[in-house]
């Protein structure tokens, strides 16, 4: 049963990811990205990472995707879609082959490194729950968590500084 669910969710993940990287219209790509994030969340549920699955939806779909949509809406889509398409078919095929080759080569040792026949052994009932993650995060990893907060603050300040509209006193345009 878990096998079937895993295969189904993987198919959705791969399908939506391929759609995102090939879509012409960025809004459609954003919807595909949403489907991708939701399928990743489903995979987290299958991997007994319930807390992560919830955070995935809240942060990726609820914040990052919304941010993407805001930015897309602020751009002039008609001008963008009139632009010539992407690279020539030859370049695309070559890129695909190169990526597949590099990725395949890189992943052979990873898959080989997993001890043969290793499966997902049953795990304690509270595994992946909010309590268990919080217990470790706020004790052993308290400093990285605080630093992550600082990083997010820096990102906010940087994003505002980069994207804010220039007012009458400054030229540029």
Partner 1 sequence: MFTPAGVALLSGALLMIGAFGVIARRNLIIVLMSVEIMLAAGTLALAGFARMHGGERGTHGQVLVLLVMAVAAAEAAVGLAILMALYRQLRSVDSDRADRMRG
CB atoms within 10 A of CB 54: 14
| Nearest C-alpha neighbor of 37 from the set 63, 70, 76 | 63
Q: Is 168 in the site for partner 1 (CB under 8 A)?
A: no
Question: Is there a contact between 13 and 39 (Cβ–Cβ < 8 Å)?
Answer: yes
Site for partner 1 in 9-48 (CB under 8 A): 10, 13-14, 17-18, 20-21, 23, 26, 29-30, 33, 36-37, 40, 43-44, 46-48
Q: Which of residues 95-134 bind partner 1 (CB under 8 A)?
A: 95-96, 99-100, 102-104, 106-107, 110-111, 114, 118-121, 123-124, 127-128, 132-133
Residue (161 or 168) nearer to partner 1, CB: 161
CB of 167 to partner 1, least distance (A): 13
Residue 9, number of CB atoms within 10 A of its CB:
19
Binding of partner 1 at residue 145 (CB under 8 A)? Answer: yes
d(Cα 1, Cα 9) in Å, to the nearest integer?
12
């Amino acid at each position: 049963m878990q096998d079937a669910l895993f295969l189904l969710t993987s198919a959705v993940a791969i399908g939506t990811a391929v759609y995102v990287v090939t879509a012409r219209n960025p809004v459609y790509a954003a919807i595909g990205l949403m489907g991708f994030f939701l399928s990743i969340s489903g995979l987290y549920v299958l991997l007994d990472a319930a807390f992560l699955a919830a955070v995935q939806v809240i942060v990726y779909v609820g914040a990052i995707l919304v941010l993407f949509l805001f930015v897309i809406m602020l751009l002039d889509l008609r001008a963008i879609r009139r632009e010539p398409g992407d690279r020539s078919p030859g370049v695309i095929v070559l890129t695909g082959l190169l990526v597949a080759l590099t990725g395949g080569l890189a992943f052979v040792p990873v898959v080989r490194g997993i001890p043969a026949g290793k499966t997902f052994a049953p795990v304690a009932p509270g595994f992946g729950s909010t309590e268990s993650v919080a217990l470790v995060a706020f004790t052993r990893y308290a400093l990285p968590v605080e630093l992550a907060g600082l990083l997010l603050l820096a990102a906010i300040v940087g994003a505002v500084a980069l994207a804010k509209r220039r007012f009458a006193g400054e030229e540029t345009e």
